[in-house]
Structures are given as C-alpha cells and as structure tokens.
Amino acid sequence: MIGVLLLLMMVLVLDVLTTSLNLIAIAGIVTIMAYKWNRWFHVAWVWYLGALGISVAALIWNESPYLAYVYRGYLGYGIFLVVMMVGVLPNRWILSRNIKKVRGNLSILGFILISPHALLHVLEVLDGINLFGIVAYVLMVPLTIVSFQFIKQDIKPKDWLTIQKAAYVIYIALFAHLIMVGDWVDKVVYAVLLTVYLNNKLLKEWKR
C-alpha cells in the first residue's frame, strides 16, 4: 500500500496525467492515508492550520508551479471526491468505516483547500466564472461551518441530517462544473464517476 502511495505521489509530481486522473490520484492518496493512518486526522487543528497556510500561499503566489494543484483546485476536488464516494460504499467495509470516522475533517480540509481556486476566479485573477462552481462553493460555506465538532454537537440529529442533504446538491454542482470546463477526455471520466456515484447512491437508498 505504501508503494501505491509513493507511485501516486510520483505521478502527481511528474504531472503526466489529465486533470481528471490527477483528481483520482489525489483521491487515492487521501483514501490510503485516511484508511492506513486514520488517527493522524484526529488531530484536526494541525491539518486545518496547514491547509490554511497552503491556501494563503496559493492566493499570494497564484502563478507558482509548486502551488498549482492548490490554486487550480485539484487538491480540494480530490478530497471532496473521497468524501463523496465514501458515502455510497457499503457500511460494513473496513475502508468505509475508517474513512467515515474522519469524513467531517476531510470535508473541512477540502473546503479550505478549494477556497483559493474559487476566490481567484471570483477576483478574476483566474479567467472565467462558472455558475455551477460558485453555487457549489456558496453551499459549502454553511455545510463546512456545521462540520466543526464544537458546532455539530449543539445541533439536533434530525436537523443535522436535513442540513447534510445540501451535500448532494454540492456534489452535482461540482461535477456539472468540472464537466463544463474539462476537455473531452475529462468530461468522460467525470461522467463515469458521477454515474457510479448516482448508481450506488440509488442502490443504497433502495436497500434501506
């Protein structure tokens, strides 16, 4: 598993893949880390501060090739891909159980790391504003706020579940955004991922 992790990291450093495959590679790295070193993510504030520092750096040095995966949104999208897909995996799997323990932490990290990408587009530092992307980001704000444990514990379980339903709109909007801005190869990959997600989600709901 460590060998796979190193291979994925090397592929990202070399930047030889298409955008969609880079997102999948990042999602693979996050999945391995959340599964194998689950306890690392329990020290949430360290991760949040680190992500915030990287995000601020990406806002300032938004042309640096070393921060490209941040201001292009790849890192944030990759983390959200894990958060999204783990929700439709069978609950009995050890993989899904481990990742779900830190799913809230990952969603906060994803929001922090995708913020430079969204803000740079809004500020027109990066070209083009996509409606679906803006809708997804705006909806992420309240959902991220209630993901913090000290806020979540004051919310009734029923209200929490109602708020979480907004996540489905975010996922659809994110994929619509990615499909619109991607080239034809990426469009196919995103469409397949979205189809897999919707299919598994419907099957999971049907079995309840």
Look at residue 77 in the predicted model and tell me its pLDDT.
95
**Bigger pLDDT: 71 vs 164:** 71
pLDDT, average across residues 66-76: 94
Q: What is each CA distance from 69 to 9, 43, 116, 125, in whole angstroms?
A: 12, 24, 11, 16
Compute the distance between CA of residue 137 and CA of residue 135 in angstroms, rounded to an integer: 6
How many separate helices (H) and strands (E) can be counted in the chain? 12, 0
Look at residue 208 in the predicted model and tell me its pLDDT.
65
Q: Which residue range forms the structural domain that includes residue 44?
A: 2-207
For tokens 């996922």, the residue is: 171
Number of domains in the chain: 1
pTM: 0.92
Compute the distance between CA of residue 204 and CA of residue 208 in angstroms, rounded to an integer: 7
Beta carbons of 127 and 117 less than 8 angstroms apart = no
**Bigger pLDDT: 114 vs 133:** 114
Look at residue 122 in the predicted model and tell me its pLDDT.
84
Res. 190 pLDDT band, cuts 50 70 90:
very high
Q: Which two tokens stand for residue 102?
A: 């830190």
